Amino acid sequence: MKKLIFITPLLFIIIFIVFIGGYRFTALSAAKSLSFLSKNAELMEQYETDSSVISLFRNNEEQVYQTVLSEKSGVFFRGSVSTNISYSSDKVQTVGGISASTENDAVTLLSVISYDEDVAYIEAGVEPNVERKAISKGERISFLFPFNEQLDFLNPTAFNKEGKKLYYYGYPKNTIVFKIEDYKWHKIDENE
């Protein structure tokens, strides 16, 4: 009985320290514990990897999409990396993206929505891991890769049904000034 009286407060202290460190029992609660995540963020989807979970959120009030990587550590999860992407009125938009390497995992996520009825599919990846996904107007698709790569190095490209390139993701071609607001989907010029 004396052991139980000693162990119970010690257990509460350990759990308290673990929770202060950002560790939670679920990936979602770990993601929500990050101070970077907006209070009114709404979960859109989760993606599981070998030892992590990626949560994609949207916040209509702040007009931002947020992506959070929660790493598994024993029986706990800890939110470790997050990214923000502002809403836009572009015809093709990235609504989630993250690339990270952790002690046990490497991952890249690209989530895209198209409002261009001419876009039939999107390709992304690095040889030999290039994927093609069909997409319809107003639909969101996601690419999840088991490696860490900068999103524009995945060469994301949107095509029409005839295979003509319509959009590419990244910075404008031939630019020497890199502004974050220019890191997006760009319509491909007819002459390219």
| AA letter at 97 | G
Whether the predicted pLDDT of 16 surpasses 90: no
Average pLDDT score over residue span 83-91: 93
> Residues near 118 by Cβ (< 8 Å), separated by ≥ 6?
160, 166
pLDDT of 192 reads: 52
Whether the predicted pLDDT of 169 surpasses 60: yes
Average pLDDT over the chain, rounded to an integer:
86
- Cβ contact 88:115 at 8 Å: no
Give the separation between CA 41 and CA 74, rounded to whole angstroms: 27
Average pLDDT score over residue span 78-88: 87
pLDDT of 108 reads: 94
Give the separation between CA 136 and CA 14, rounded to whole angstroms: 50
Q: Residue 89: how many CB atoms within 10 A of its CB?
A: 6
Whether the predicted pLDDT of 20 surpasses 80: no
Whether the predicted pLDDT of 4 surpasses 60: no
| AA letter at 120 | A
- Cβ contact 121:133 at 8 Å: yes
Whether the predicted pLDDT of 80 surpasses 90: no
Lowest mean pLDDT among 53-67, 120-134, 175-189: 175-189
- Read off the pLDDT of residues 32-44 as tens digits, 9 standing for 90 and up: 877 777 788 899 9
Which residues are paired to 134 by β-bridges?
Answer: 121
pLDDT of 9 reads: 65
Give the separation between CA 103 and CA 13, rounded to whole angstroms: 27
For residue 30, what is the enclosing H or E element? helix 27-32
Distance of CA 183 to the CA centre of its chain: 15
| AA letter at 160 | N
